[in-house]
Amino acid sequence: MMATMQQIIVLANQKGGVGKTTTAINLAASLAAMEKRVLVVDCDPQANASSGLGIASDTGKGSIYEALFSPERITDAIYPSQLDYLDVVPSTPDLVGAELELVDRIGREFYLREALQNIGQGYEYILLDCPPSLGLVTVNALCAANALLVPLQCEYYALEGIAHLMRTYELVRKRLNPGLDFLGVVLTMFDRRNRLSTQVRNEVRNYFAGKAFETIIPRNVRLSEAPSYGKPALCYDHRSKGTQAYLALASELTRRYADAEKQNTEPVSA
């Protein structure tokens, strides 16, 4: 039997509040519901993905911060979530210091990659939730991943800053991590009643052509309520539109990977 490749997906956008963390939590939960083994690695000192998945920040067992500087200790920092197939490496506010601590080190872009190498192949998907900046921690996440997923909020300035993000992606790919593919963009907080949302959707689909996911995440209050209960939306209100949208996104994503794998294997078997 052919082993499936481990997908390490980085969710990045230097803008805050665009839905990176909400997407990391709920895409991960949806993949877990499909019985894919998933690990969320919280790379943001604000630790919203950790708390949103019910992990307290002071559990004392370790976090991504310790794992960056003692990569072999990352396995101590893996916590179970409420979902059988979903685990979490949480973050803490200490991570703010990592940017400065890394800056003088040789190979400073590869600390997270080295830590993740100690996790082994037990997870089919590893999702890296980034802080709202293109600083060293985000660059570490870009260097540790093999696919970039960009959440974009359906608002007037949605595409602002995207050129800068895509330039960073190209530079990382050229100089640091040639194995990083562009997975695509996912539109979040879409409001059907708002003409602007539709306009932004069309603009983004033009700009990114086939790289925009068909699935669009609607603005849905359940998605914003669930984190305060430390739960992904599907454990909080599984019938909500938000839950359903992320389940659809997870199937679209796994379908894309399955198609890509098929294409890659066909020439071999011919």
Q: 242, 223 in Cβ contact below 8 A? A: yes
Contact range with ligand ADP by CB under 6 A, out of 19-27, 74-82, 111-119, 159-167: 19-27
CB of 264 to ligand ADP, least distance (A): 32
Measure Cα distances from 74 to 38, 49, 114, 197 in Å: 15, 17, 10, 41
Nearer to ligand ADP, 22 or 91 (CB): 22
For residue 51, the minimal CB distance to Mg ion (Å) is 11
- How many C-beta atoms surround the C-beta of residue 47 within 10 A? 23
Task: Return d(Cα 234, Cα 240) in angstroms, integer.
Answer: 8
Residue 188 binds what, of Mg ion, ligand ADP, none (CB under 5 to 8 Å, by partner type)?
Answer: ligand ADP
Pattern 14-43, Mg ion, x by CB under 5 A: ------xx----------------------
User: Which residues between 217 and 246 bind ligand ADP (CB under 6 A)?
Assistant: 217, 219-220, 223-224, 242
Among the listed residues 7, 14, 21, 50, the single contact to ligand ADP using CB under 6 A? 21
Q: 141 CB contacts (<8 Å, ≥6 apart)?
A: 10, 12, 43, 112, 128, 130
Q: What Cα–Cα distance (Å) separates residue 217 from each residue in 12, 146, 229? A: 17, 23, 21
| 48/92 with CB nearer ligand ADP | 48
In the complex with ligand ADP, which residue's Cβ is closer, 159 or 176? 159
- Which of 182, 173, 231, 162 minimizes the C-alpha distance to 10? 182
